Amino acid sequence: MRSVRIWFTKKDTAKYISHLDLTRCLIRAFRRTDIPLWYTEGFNPHPHLVFGLSLPLGVEGEREILDIRLDDESYNNERVISELNRVTVPGIEFLKIAEPEYKPLFITSGLYEMKLSSHDNSNIKDDILNKINTKNIIIHKKTKKGEIKEINVSEHITDFNILKNDDSDLHFSFILPAGNDFTINPILFKDALLENFSQENISWAIVRKKLLLKDGTEFR
C-alpha cells in the first residue's frame, strides 16, 4: 500500500457540487476504473479519500487536493491520472499526481481571485478600496457551537492586489485563512465588500488558485 496526492480542478458547473456529493461522485468514478484503491477494514469498508480542504459552494478551484492509497504499489501514477480523466465529469480534471510531502493539517491559507462585473464598476472599485484602506470589513461567522461570531476580515486578509480594472470588470487577488483551525469563507468576504450595492446588478466569480503553507509556499 502507498499514499499518493492528486491535484484536480473543480470548475464551471462542478463548482455547484457540494463536498458530500463530490465525494460520492469521485467514489463512483474510481469504481469505473481499474485503479486498485485501498479500502478501510472493519464492518463497513470504504475507500480512503482525504481532501485537502473543501470548497464553498459556488467557488471554483484550480488546484484542489485529494489523497488516496493504492493497494498495488506497482500501479503507475500516470495511469491513475489517465484512468480518472477517462471517467470524470465536466468541470473536474485531474492534473497531477505525486507523493505527499505534508499532511492536510499543515494548510493555513488559500490564494483566491475574484472578478466582479457591473455597469457602474468605478463606484464599486472606490467603495472596495475604501473598505480595504479603512481596515474594517466585518463578517458574521457561525461557530461549531452554533454561535454567531463577528470577525474583521481586514485583520486576516493579506496580499490584496488589483489585477484588472476596466469599464466592465474588476479583478483582484487576495489570501485568506483556509485551514482546519480557522477558515474565512471568501463568499462572506465578497458579501461584506458589496454590502453597499445591490448584488442583483453585479455578477461575480471566485477561484481558489491554490492552497498554501504557513510560509506562503504552495501546499504539496
Q: At residue 209, does pLDDT exceed 90?
A: yes
Q: At residue 118, does pLDDT exceed 90?
A: no
Q: Is 184 helix (H, G, I), strand (E, B) or coil?
A: coil
pLDDT for residue 94: 98
Q: Say how many Å lie between the first and final Cα of the chain, rounded.
A: 20
Average pLDDT over residues 145-170: 86
Q: Please give the Cα distance from 182 to 162 (Å, whole number).
A: 25
Q: Cell numbers of 163, please?
A: 489585477
Q: Mean pLDDT, the chain, as a whole number?
A: 91
Least confident interval from 3-12, 30-39, 40-49, 99-108: 40-49
Q: What are phi and psi of 32, to 5 degrees?
A: -90, 5
Q: Cell numbers of 198, please?
A: 445591490
SS percent in the chain: helix, strand, coil, step 5: 25, 35, 35
Q: How sure is the predictor about 108, in pLDDT bands with cuts at 50, 70 and 90?
A: very high
pLDDT for residue 121: 63
Q: At residue 138, does pLDDT exceed 70?
A: yes
Q: At residue 120, does pLDDT exceed 70?
A: no
Average pLDDT over residues 156-167: 87
Q: How sure is the predictor about 122, in pLDDT bands with cuts at 50, 70 and 90?
A: low
Average pLDDT over residues 21-37: 94
The predicted model scores a pTM of 0.91
Q: At residue 164, does pLDDT exceed 90?
A: no
